[in-house]
Amino acid sequence: VNPDRLSLNQITVRPWSLEEVVKGCARHGIGSLAVWRDKLAEVGVTRGATMIRDAGLRVSSLCRGGMFTDPAVSAPTALDDNKRAVDEAAALGADVLVLVCGPLQDTDLPAARRRVADGVAALMPYAESAGVMVGIEPLHPMMISERSVVVSLRQANDLVETVGSANLGVVVDAYHVWWDPDLEREIHRATGRVLGYHVSDWLAETTDLLYCRGLMGDGLIDLPGLSAAVEKAGYRGPVEVEILSHELWRRDGDRVLDDVTDRFTRYV
């Protein structure tokens, strides 16, 4: 992958504020950024969008909409929050709004998956009017009770087909999908609808279900093979480095970005 396509997902340097991330990108020659809504909220959407635009940064994605499955939250309330996420993505000019669809909170998995399908279908007319692309990101099955009942690219592709909006596609995160025997087939099936591609690595000694991702090259994922498959499916946009890692977050942010740019060049 051409190093110019590197986008920094700001969770990789979680201790930094949005402003520190924007300045860090400049120092390290990184031209794209993925923004998290909680970090954006700290400075406010308008100020955050101005800051990013003034720095000349592209916003590869906004993370995240979704979370349709909480039985304590009504469908209209969940829809409202997702509309706000669409507005924020529009304000930032983000390539895509990422959907993390929501965890399972009881034993009725089919019902939770129906709530997700209904939630995405309800959101898309609004996203279409706003001209915002929306990407369903399947998450690793181990995160089903923490983050997402959408657990495979096949399932995400099925959802995209069922909902049938021109603004809807999928986001491929290496860490979440690399184990899947159907991966190559499903990436091919998503041709033209891949809206984002995220990289990190699966450490052989994974000790935490959420915050134990590795730098590219430190683990077991065949990233060059995956990058080739995603490119063949027509995706030519930014490639986000998104590493959720307690170990990385303890380190100095600039040293982390040194490693990120180096590893991206060598292992993605």
Enumerate binding residues for its own copies (CB under 8 A).
104-109, 113, 140-142, 144-145, 151-152, 154-155, 158, 178-182, 202-207, 209, 220-222
How far apart are the C-alpha atoms of 176 and 174, rounded to whole Å?
Answer: 6
Among 93, 88, 85, residue whose Cα is nearest residue 56: 93
What's the closest the beta carbon of residue 163 comes to its own copies, in angstroms?
16
What's the closest the beta carbon of residue 221 comes to its own copies, in angstroms?
7
Do the Cβ atoms of 215 and 191 come closer than 8 Å? Answer: no
Q: Work out the angle between the directed axes of helices 153-163 and 109-130 (0-180°, nearest 10).
A: 60
What's the closest the beta carbon of residue 125 comes to its own copies, in angstroms?
26
What's the closest the beta carbon of residue 241 comes to its own copies, in angstroms?
18
Q: Which is nearer to its own copies, 140 or 198 (CB)?
A: 140
Q: Which is nearer to its own copies, 28 or 154 (CB)?
A: 154
Q: Which is nearer to its own copies, 203 or 233 (CB)?
A: 203
Distance, CA of 107 to chain centre: 27
Q: Which is nearer to its own copies, 229 or 257 (CB)?
A: 229
Give the Å distances, CA to CA, from 95 to 61, 102, 140, 164, 221.
5, 22, 23, 19, 26
What's the closest the beta carbon of residue 152 comes to its own copies, in angstroms?
6
What's the closest the beta carbon of residue 264 comes to its own copies, in angstroms?
16
How far apart are the C-alpha atoms of 161 and 68, rounded to whole Å?
Answer: 19
How far apart are the C-alpha atoms of 156 and 161, rounded to whole Å?
Answer: 9
Among 145, 87, 136, 90, residue whose Cα is nearest residue 116: 136
Q: Which is nearer to its own copies, 208 or 258 (CB)?
A: 208
Q: Which is nearer to its own copies, 138 or 237 (CB)?
A: 138
